[in-house]
Amino acid sequence: MQFYSERLRYEKFTPDHFEDYFRLVSQRDVMLYISGTGLDLEGAHRRFEVALRADCRQSDMGFVAVYEQASDSYVGLGKIVPFEDEFTEIGYALLPEFWGLGYASEITRRLVAYARACGKVESLVALVSPENQASINVLTKQHFRFFREVPEGDEVRHDYILDL
């Protein structure tokens, strides 16, 4: 699976993407609203193995490595994966040097278009920390709406939904 958007190229995760993945998920700032802190090598390996198998039910979905087309630089990741019974989850994470460039919106827009083209996705869900206002803004610009609050231990998560 490889596809493009205005400035970015997306390719499905393979084991060869681990080095870039680790560079991303080892950074505290990147992982603040995902796991709370950067991952060590062992934690990154475990999480990456889960990402490699995220498409187990639908081979046209999964995690994708995201690159700038112009420079071929690794930007981060996107995901479109089965989630719960009736939903498909989308998400993204970017290296800090690419924050503020509109890439989060571009990735989200492209993943929504990809889900529509698949023809079998009825609703997309994005999981967001309520403190992550930047991601909430990205989602609401793409017409996602607040769907539910989900307790997760001492924390809560907000789910945003887009009906296709």
Q: Where are the domains of the chain?
A: 2-163
Q: What pLDDT score does 21 carry? A: 97
Q: What pLDDT score does 126 carry? A: 97
Asked if residue 75 lies in contact with residue 66, where contact means CB atoms within 8 angstroms, the answer is: yes
Q: What pLDDT score does 57 carry? A: 65
Whole-model pTM: value is: 0.94
Asked if residue 122 lies in contact with residue 164, where contact means CB atoms within 8 angstroms, the answer is: yes
Q: What pLDDT score does 129 carry? A: 95
Rounded mean pLDDT for each run of 10 residues along the chain, 164 residues in total:
93 96 96 92 96 79 96 97 89 97 98 92 95 96 97 93 96
CATH homologous superfamily for the domain 2-163: Gcn5-related N-acetyltransferase (GNAT) (3.40.630.30)
Q: What pLDDT score does 12 carry? A: 94
